[in-house]
Structure 1
Amino acid sequence: MKEHLYTTSQTERDALVRTGNWNAEGIAFYSGGKNPVHRLYNPGLRIHLYSSDPNEVKVLQTRGWQYEGITFYTQ
């Protein structure tokens, strides 16, 4: 399975590329606004999920998803 990870952190991007398991594909989009988009990871499924819904984030955490913080903001 191919996964894409979105980050605004150059440090995180560079660290992932150094592992040899990820490729930097350039800028996917520009973000801005006041609404946070949260990133979660499910180690069993080995996938990331992005959500702007605080209730969804809480529910997913009770189901084994690991919270990785706010990734970016939207309008």
Structure 2
Amino acid sequence: MDYFSKFLRSGQPPPKPVHDHALEFHNSWTVIKNTLLHPDERQISRGIKSTDVPMHLKSMVDSLVWESTRAEEGWVR
């Protein structure tokens, strides 16, 4: 069985999944916008830190930094 398995395996490793920073930025913005437009009563009493907003803001900043770094290195299409 090992003899045939070497023919079934591809010679190249599977491609790495591409991380879509633009989609991540958009999704984070949507979550933040929805949280601010339709806050939960518990969120209002606890403050913004009790929500996912700080985490999504960090994600947006990370995406912008990645894009800026990519542009500086000449990777822009």
| TM-score normalised to structure 2 length | 0.22
Q: For the pair shown, which has the larger CA radius of gyration, 1 or 2?
A: 2
| TM-score normalised to structure 1 length | 0.23
